């Protein structure tokens, strides 16, 4: 008979490490928004910011799953694949449903082809693409809003993991 292995305190640091990695990604996105995008104003920087936000979500989702599923065998079932992970997070933390929908949107945005590059090198640089058969215009102001939504999600994850203590976002950002 095979015994189930409980996650040990050593594995808890891994959960915290994933949260720390999420905060590092959001810090990188912050730099891209407020330094790189300010000076270069290109679609490539916008795409890079979206990638950083997605990575922050990835790490935060894994940290959330590690917090909720304390049984290692059960946790392994949910760590494989995007769809499985997102469904498990929404099941474990129903208040994150809207955040997960936004995460799905970001993934679609990242993979969508660039149809047009409007006003590159100007204040209102705009990425024009098509998502779900709808034309989407992403401007610098939208990117800042996406950044804030991602930070909000990380705060929810922090609340779930640390019960409000050790808010790394408040320290650096």
Averaged pLDDT, 94-114: 96
Q: Tell me how far the alpha carbon of residue 35 is from its chain's centroid.
A: 20
pLDDT, position 168: 64
pLDDT, position 9: 45
46 pLDDT higher than 60: yes
pLDDT-derived band at 74, boundaries 50, 70, 90: confident
Averaged pLDDT, 117-123: 91
Question: Rounded to the nearest 5 degrees, what angle is found at the Cα of 172, between the Cα atoms of 65 and 52?
Answer: 55
What does the domain layout of the chain look like in residue ranges?
Answer: 11-110+141-168
Averaged pLDDT, 39-63: 95
10: exposed, middle or buried (Cβ count in 10 Å: 0-12, 13-18, 19+) = exposed
Q: How many angstroms separate the CA atoms of 89 and 62, rounded? A: 9
164 pLDDT higher than 80: no
pLDDT, position 69: 85
pLDDT, position 109: 97
Q: How many angstroms separate the CA atoms of 146 and 11, rounded? A: 31
pLDDT > 70 in the chain, percent:
86
Of 108, 33, 25, which Cα lies nearest the Cα of 60?
Answer: 25
Q: How many angstroms separate the CA atoms of 162 and 167, rounded? A: 8
Averaged pLDDT, 94-103: 96
Tokens standing for 74?
């059960």
CA distances from 29 to 42, 113, 149 (A): 15, 21, 12
Averaged pLDDT, 32-46: 93
Least confident of 4-8, 77-81, 138-142, 158-162: 4-8
């Amino acid at each position: 008979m095979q015994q189930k292995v409980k996650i040990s305190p050593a594995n808890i640091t891994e959960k915290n490490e994933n949260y720390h990695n999420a905060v590092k990604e959001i810090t990188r996105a912050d730099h891209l928004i407020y330094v790189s995008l300010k000076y270069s104003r290109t679609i490539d920087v916008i795409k890079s910011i979206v990638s950083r936000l997605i990575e922050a979500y990835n790490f935060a989702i894994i940290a959330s799953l590690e917090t909720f599923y304390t049984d290692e065998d059960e946790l392994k079932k949910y760590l494989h694949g995007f769809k499985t992970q997102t469904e498990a997070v929404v099941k474990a933390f129903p208040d994150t449903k809207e955040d997960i929908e936004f995460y799905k949107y970001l993934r679609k945005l990242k993979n969508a082809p660039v149809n047009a590059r409007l006003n590159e090198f100007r204040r209102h640089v705009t990425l024009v693409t098509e998502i779900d058969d709808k034309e989407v215009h992403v401007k610098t102001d939208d990117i800042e809003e996406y950044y804030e939504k991602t930070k909000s999600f990380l705060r929810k994850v922090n609340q779930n993991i640390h019960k409000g203590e050790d808010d790394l976002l408040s320290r650096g950002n």
